[in-house]
Amino acid sequence: MNEPLPRVAIPCIGERFPRMDVRTTMGPMALPDRFDGKWFILFSHPGDFTPVCTTEFASFALNHERFRRLNCELVGLSVDQVHSHIKWVEWIEEHLGVSIEYPIIADANGAVSRNLGAIHPPDAGTTVRAAYIVDPEAVLQSVMYYPRGVGRNIEELLRILQALHVVRRHKVATPANWPSNELIGEEVLLHPPDDIEGAKRRKGTQGCLDWWFCTARL
């Protein structure tokens, strides 16, 4: 009988990002303190010098300024050695003409990856493809895992980040496929009232199909 695979401790949305000292291509770094007051996305990859990961890291780099305009920094991660990361960054710039200007964590012993739930059986020797969006208060706001052979959609990560900004700033919710929802376009959703009187006031008002389904244009 096969032994059961070990369970992976996956960090939860709403938890604080764990404090850790890491070694990166840009020197030692303390997380999440390094990005105090900023959003950051930490994304792990299975390995340097692999085709999917190379396209992802180049795409993150090409869109780096778009993330920065949303007050967000980027950090890569894998269990490769720092020298491998450095050579890979050189290769990407030399062969693809793309400069990687964000740090990549060298997690040779896997401690950082295990702490983030980024090492899954049966491939216990490598990190999975994951992305963690962390807010300026160092609280996890999104955790995503991807199949090994499926590259990330950078536009979706940007969309989530933009939506998080809108949700926080305006105290609303965003619909499916925002800002291009099939039913309400770029409008947002108002949170339903919590009492009967609030429901009565909402019913029949502009933008409300019912007291619990109300939209607004920002």
CB contact at 8 A, 126 and 108: no
Q: Element (H or E) spanning 60, and its range?
A: helix 51-62
Residue 214 annotated in active site? no
How do beta strands 188-189 and 140-146 pair? unpaired
Residue 17's nearest CA partner among 115, 128, 162 is 115
- Tokens 């770094």 appear where? 29
Report the distance separating Cα 85 and Cα 53, nearest Å: 12
* Tokens coding 84: 């491998």
Choosing from 53, 72, 208, 214, which is the catalytic residue?
53
Report the distance separating Cα 35 and Cα 134, nearest Å: 10
Show which residues are catalytic: 53
